[in-house]
Structure 1
């Protein structure tokens, strides 16, 4: 059984992290030309939508947003599952900002890159993560990070978003001692 060890980000801190990542995306890309944002289902998609909304508020530009289901591209699951992705634009020659809630081993990001490449050839893929908890198994790093959070491998990081969980927060969970 998992119990809450600590709250890392509350709703206000999550909002600030999303604003900071939005500014960094604009600055690193010297504007928004040919940018699109694709969130990994499910909470990465919610964060992607929030990033696009915040960028529109800051710059007055609507950035295309899509949602990527990585299940068919994972190396640890069956590949014959239905693809629930929703990407209504071509990613070829675009600067894609791939968004995940938590980056951990890097395997989800690898699957997401496979999913993107199956849809076209982006000019560039950048990675944004609300939380980077370390412990990579693959040579992958995020370009934009809301919070670096060193954790042990027996801890879990849970990102809660109001749209799905009724509250915005990030917590660390650990096994309950008996």
Structure 2
């Protein structure tokens, strides 16, 4: 069965199938990690057939398909458990290993769209976004799409302050801009 069902923009993909595929591959990956006596982490999710599937989807899908795929992952960022932790690590890994800034921008867009709506926000969504903007390994504040317009930059700063608190967000933003 194909993920693409039509050539009509906005209706090209079988969204239910994308959501089911992401959930199935993720739960199989978690089971595989647990069977090896480990827990999901940035180091245990890499170099696996499961991650290869996710990376290939992130790279090979067009913009519409990738957006739906990333939303399917974001749907799994819920309450504290190994399932949420796996999908959080997956989203962050896809960001870190993206071969283009367009993919990183799209990951950020999917997370940001969910954070700018009224609270409460799912725990996993907040943790993933905070890790993305706080961890210097992701170099989030150095990306062009963060600084493409003053309004966008202000939006990111505002969301960072809401997620982390004003003082901590300011330290993170100042710390990465100095490097």
Q: Given the two structures, how large is their TM-score scaled by the length of structure 1?
A: 0.26
Higher relative contact order (CA 8 A, sep 6+): 1
Structure with greater strand percent: 1
Structure with greater helix percent: 2
